[in-house]
Amino acid sequence: MVEAQVQLVEGMQFVATSGTGHAIVVDGDPSVGGKNTGPRPMELVLMGLAGCTAMDVVFILRRQRQPVQGLTVHVRGERAESHPKVYTRIHVEYTIYGDVDEKAAQRAIELSEEKYCSVSAMLKHTADITWSYRIVRADTSAAP
């Protein structure tokens, strides 16, 4: 079982704590009393997607003995105009650093998106999820 809780601090600011004891400040938009001291809940959803798929891709590439030096995952989401304003479109952009084989990178991303990433599996019920990637070779740029 996975657990989490939030506790009101003040206004629309909360401290969210995971079952493993990690905490993050979550805040609302200033238009509803927030003070912009932490991410909004729907931003956390995109952050969760980015983290989930990033871990999958790095794990898969390392198992394939690919020389991954770094990975950045940028996620953009579009939401419905009416409540509950779910995500309807999400684009995931991967930047892989290192002399990684093109086919290995593509396969790792496909496996994450289609099989392993739990967050992606949930979101694809309401959102059209697309992805793109690029590989930055070790000889042209250093990892971030």
pLDDT of residue 139: 62
CB contact set of 137 (below 8 Å; sequence gap of 6+): 98, 99
On the CB side of 138, how many CA atoms lie within 13 Å of its CA? 9
Strands (DSSP E) contained in the chain are: 4-10, 13-18, 23-26, 70-79, 87-97, 128-136
User: What is the total residue count of the chain?
Assistant: 144
pLDDT for 66-100, tens place per residue?
999 999 999 999 999 999 999 999 999 999 999 99
In whole angstroms, what separates CA 61 from the centre of its chain? 18
Domain boundaries, the chain: 1-39, 41-136
CA 91/CA 131 separation, integer angstroms: 5
Name the stretches of the chain with pLDDT < 70.
139-144
pTM attached to this predicted model: 0.92
Which CATH code for domain 41-136? 3.30.300.20
Residue type for 142, please?
Answer: A
